[in-house]
């Protein structure tokens, strides 16, 4: 079939009358990408806007199976949620792992934090620690907990700053102080009311400078 014949065939099956130009473009691109017609049929519907159509088309184009694409081909997902699910599948995450974060009520930012943790290889216990809905972390707080796990902090250290009422900026500062190698007692002191955000940030800058100088010295010694 030629491209024109394919478009006519799909139009007879799906009725393109209610689709706008951008939506039709995604269908044409699907044909140009040599995506099978039965797969194009999945998104050739007014139920999807052009951005959602693109995420479905890109999934097929990048080699995802029909079973995989069906996971996120739900018009209730916005295109940013679809994107996070598609990225996880394309990375090679098992479908059961992807299902941990492809929940409609999760924002795309929360989906991203869970996906990144899975792709990094965090354990399910670590993922569940910061994705537990009862804790009500927002995406920026999740990021600080995820980075703590990825950078090798202990559970005790992470638990110290992973309180739902702690602002992301405070969590980041405490995480970085632990990563510099400070003891629990030292971080407890710096996290107290004696120090405000600006003073802690100055201390972090000083530690960063020292670390950079030490790294430079090590290179010179070599």
Q: Is the pLDDT of residue 221 over 70?
A: no
**Which range is least confidently modeled, 113-122, 128-137, 171-180?**
128-137
- pLDDT tens digits, 8-55: 656 665 667 788 889 989 999 998 899 998 999 999 999 999 999 999
CA gyration radius, the chain:
24
pTM reported for the whole predicted model: 0.89
Task: Give the CA angle between residues 43, 92, 134 to the nearest 5°.
Answer: 85
DSSP letter (8 states) at residue 222: -
Using CA atoms, how far apart are residues 163 and 5, in angstroms rounded to an integer? 60
> Where do the structural domains in the chain lie, given as residue ranges?
1-121, 123-222
- pLDDT tens digits, 90-131: 999 999 999 999 999 999 999 999 999 999 999 999 999 999
């Amino acid at each position: 079939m030629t491209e024109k014949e394919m478009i006519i065939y799909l139009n007879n099956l799906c009725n393109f009358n209610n689709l706008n130009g951008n939506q039709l473009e995604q269908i044409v691109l699907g044909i140009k990408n040599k995506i099978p017609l039965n797969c194009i049929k999945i998104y050739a519907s007014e139920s999807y806007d052009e951005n959602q159509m693109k995420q479905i088309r890109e999934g097929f184009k990048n080699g995802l199976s029909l079973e995989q694409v069906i996971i996120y081909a739900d018009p209730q997902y916005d295109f940013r949620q679809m994107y996070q699910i598609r990225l996880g599948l394309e990375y090679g995450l098992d479908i059961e792992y992807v299902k941990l974060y492809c929940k409609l009520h999760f924002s795309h930012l929360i989906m991203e934090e869970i996906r990144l943790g899975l792709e990094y290889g965090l354990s399910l216990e670590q993922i569940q620690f910061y994705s537990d809905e009862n804790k009500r972390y927002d995406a920026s707080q999740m990021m600080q907990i995820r980075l703590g796990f990825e950078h090798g902090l202990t559970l005790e250290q992470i638990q110290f700053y992973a309180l739902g009422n702690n602002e992301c900026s405070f969590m980041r500062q405490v995480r970085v102080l632990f990563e510099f190698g400070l003891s629990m007692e030292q971080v407890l002191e710096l996290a107290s009311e004696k120090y405000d955000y600006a003073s802690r940030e100055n201390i972090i800058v000083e530690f960063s400078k020292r670390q950079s100088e030490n790294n430079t010295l090590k290179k010179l010694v070599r």
